[in-house]
A and B are shown apart, each in its own frame.
Chain A
Amino acid sequence: MGLFSRFTEGLTRTREAFREDVNLLLNRSPEVDEDFWDGLEEALIVSDMGGYSAATIVDKLRNEATRKGLRNARDVLNALNDQIAAEFVEGGDEILGGEGSIVLFVGVNGSGKTTTTGKIAKQAKDAGRTVILGCGDTFRAAAIEQLEVWAQRAGVEICARERGSDPASVCYETIERGEAIGADLVLIDTAGRLHTSADLMRELEKVVSVVRKRANLPVHLVLVIDATTGQNGLQQAREFNNALDLDGVIITKLDGTAKGGIAVAVAHYLKLPIVKLGVGEGLEDLKDFDAHEYAAGLLGDFGQE
Chain B
Amino acid sequence: MFDSLQDQLQEVFDDLKGKGRLTEDDIRVAMRRVRMALLEADVSFKVVKSFVAKASARCMEADVLDSLTPAQNVIKVVLDELTSLLGETDARLNLQQGKHPNIIMLVGLQGSGKTTAAAKLAYLLKGEGHNPLLVACDVYRPAAADQLQTLGGEIGVRVYRGEGKDPVKIAKDGMQYAIDNLCDVAIVDTAGRLHVDEEMMAEAESIKAAVDPDEVLMVVDAMTGQDVVNVVETFSARVDFDGVIMSKMDGDARGGGALSIREATGKPIKFISSGEKPSSLEVFHPDRMARRILGMGDVVSLIESAVKVQQQEEEAEATERLRRMDLNLNDFLDMNRQIRKMGGVGKLISALPGGDKMMSQGQVDAHALDRMEVIINSMTKQEREKPDLINGSRRARIAAGAGVTVTAVNQLLKQYSETRKQVKKMMAAYGDFDERPGRKGRPKKGGKKGKKGGSRGRRMAMPGMGGMSLADLKKIQEMME
Whether both chains belong to one complex is answered with yes
What per-residue 1/0 map shows which CB atoms of B43-76 lie under 8 Å from chain A?
Answer: 0110000000000000000000000000000000
Cα distance A236–B221 when bound, in Å? 14
Pick the contact of A51: B36, B141, B253 (CB < 8 A).
B36
Is B242 at the interface (CB under 8 A from chain A)? Answer: no
Check A228/B225 contact, CB under 8 A, given A111-B111, A235-B252, A281-B140.
yes
Q: Report whether A255 and B111 are in contact in the complex, using a CB–CB cutoff of 8 Å.
A: no
Cα distance A233–B113 when bound, in Å? 17
Cα distance A197–B252 when bound, in Å? 10
Cα distance A234–B42 when bound, in Å? 12
Q: Which of B145-153, B201-209, B470-478 contacts A (4 or more CB under 8 A)?
A: B145-153
Chain A nearest Cβ from B358, distance in angstroms: 15
What per-residue 1/0 map shows which CB atoms of B139-182 lie under 8 Å from chain A?
Answer: 01111111111110010000000000000000000000000000
Check A255/B252 contact, CB under 8 A, given A52-B40, A110-B112.
no
Cα distance A144–B41 when bound, in Å? 35
Tally A-B pairs: CB < 8 A: 161
Residue of B nearest to A229 (CB): B223
Residues of B within 8 A of A262 (CB): 225
Q: Report whether B143 and A145 are in contact in the complex, using a CB–CB cutoff of 8 Å.
A: yes
Chain B nearest Cβ from A17, distance in angstroms: 8
Residue of B nearest to A144 (CB): B143
Residues of A within 8 A of B248 (CB): 108-110, 194
Residues of B within 8 A of A196 (CB): 250-252
Q: Report whether A110 and B113 are in contact in the complex, using a CB–CB cutoff of 8 Å.
A: yes
Q: Report whether A228 and B221 are in contact in the complex, using a CB–CB cutoff of 8 Å.
A: yes
Residue of B nearest to A48 (CB): B225
Is A35 at the interface (CB under 8 A from chain B)? Answer: no
Pick the contact of A149: B110, B142, B147, B194 (CB < 8 A).
B142
Chain B nearest Cβ from A67, distance in angstroms: 22
Cα distance A232–B143 when bound, in Å? 29
Residues of B within 8 A of A56 (CB): 1
Residues on B lying within 8 angstroms of A by beta carbon are 1-2, 35-36, 39-42, 44-45, 109-113, 140-151, 154, 194-196, 221, 223-228, 230-231, 248, 250-254, 256-257, 276, 344, 346, 366
**Listed A/B pairs (21) with beta-carbon separation below 8 Å:** A42-B45, A46-B44, A50-B2, A50-B39, A51-B40, A52-B1, A52-B40, A110-B112, A110-B221, A112-B110, A141-B147, A141-B148, A142-B146, A144-B143, A148-B142, A149-B142, A195-B252, A228-B231, A257-B195, A262-B225, A265-B2
